Amino acid sequence: MSKIKVAVIGGSGIYKLDAIKVKESIKVETPFGNPSAEIMICEVDGNEFYFLPRHGHGHHFTPTEVNYRANIFALKKLGADTILSISAVGSLQEQYAPKNFVVVDQFIDWTKGQRKRTFFDEGMVGHVSTANPVEKSLQERLYKHCKEADITTHLGGTYVCIEGPQFSTKAESQIYRSFGASVIGMTNVPEAYLAKEAGMAYSTVAMVTDYDCWKEEHCTVQEIMDVMKSNYVSVQRFIVKAIPDLVKNPIKFEAENKYAVMTDPKLLTEHHKAILEVVLK
């Protein structure tokens, strides 16, 4: 078992971080198929962490095609217990401007039921609370490092997750705004919920690229790409500060999955037990 406890799951445009050194790549097998890519062991100033490109190298998985269960399971199997999610999002509120970061604390699941979203199925039933899907101490730590990196960052907010790959209609965008949601994306559910089921600390740094489509202003693809490039530079400054701290001063938290499984142990198959051996360890 590796001593590495911190993992970064990179979102759109975050495939190569110049600030880090890639040491090696590991192929991890899971009961749920293959993760999005081989998991990289990376290093920042001698501090090792795992990095996994959510959409695969070259961005070839749609948000729905991402194998979220395999991704989270593989990281837990390797020994990670802390996940930093980096995600590109649209803003649903005026105050969250392009190039701003939002360290969210809540999610609204607006996907269509096409995604495999739990480790507890096929004859094994388990329940884990997602009332607080983000680990607060991790969220606060990430916010601090964003500020240290001189990034305009907002602490707290709600991320509404849609199915994609299409962006919202204006009518849909107004509905999400009426929820009081802060940002909109396509990937953090069920990722955050699976991390909760696996007893891992999870938090998202959401990088705002645009105002979705609710705001009456034209935004070209090129303009969005320019913002993403700027966010890419900002996130490197953030990573250089966050990773060494998370490695040297691990997040302390209480896993909430210990008593998740409701199924009679006598009914659990070897397949179930193999999953629980990793998820509950």
Which residue out of 45, 105, 212, 245 is catalytically annotated?
212
Q: Could you give the angle at the alpha carbon of 136 between the alpha carbons of 134 and 278, nearest 5°? A: 55
Largest CA distance in the chain: 60
Report d(CA 216, CA 141) in Å as an integer: 35
CATH number of the domain where residue 115 is located? 3.40.50.1580
Question: Looking at the 3D structure of the chain, how many domains does it have?
Answer: 1
Active site residue 109: no
Residue of higher predicted confidence among 68 and 18: 68
Domain of residue 210: give its range.
Answer: 6-279
Q: Distance between CA 214 and CA 55 in Å, rounded?
A: 26
Residue whose structure tokens are 């795992």: 50
Residue 165 in 3-state DSSP? coil
Confidence at residue 15, expressed as pLDDT on a 0 to 100 scale: 58
pLDDT at 12 over 80: no
Quote the pLDDT of residue 20.
86
Q: Does residue 237 lie within any of the structural domains?
A: yes
Model pLDDT for residues 201-219, shown as the tens digit of each residue:
999 999 999 999 998 776 6
Distance CA 184, CA 167 (A): 10
pLDDT (mean) for 163-176: 95
Q: Above 80 in pLDDT, residue 222?
A: no
Amino acid 14: pLDDT: 66
81, 105, 109, 210: the catalytic one is: 210
Cβ proximity of 17 and 231 under 8 Å: no
- pLDDT interval class at 1 (50, 70, 90): low
Tokens of 148: 């240290």
What's the pLDDT band for 224 if we cut at 50, 70, 90? Answer: confident
Is 1 among the domain residues? no
The model's confidence at residue 11, banded by pLDDT at 50, 70 and 90, is confident
- Taking the C-alpha atoms of residue 201 and residue 136, their distance in angstroms, rounded to an integer, is 9
Under a CB-based contact definition with an 8 Å cutoff, are residues 73 and 119 in contact? Answer: yes
* 225 Cβ contact list (under 8 Å, min separation 6): none
Please name the residue that has the structure tokens 């590991």: 26
Assess if residue 141 is contained within a domain.
yes
CA atoms within 13 A on the CB side of 132: 13
Evaluate whether residue 118 is within a structural domain. Answer: yes
**Rounded mean pLDDT of 76-93?**
97
Q: Is residue 170 part of a domain?
A: yes
pTM of the model: 0.96
Quick check: is 121 catalytic?
no
pLDDT tens figures, 37-50: 999 999 999 999 99
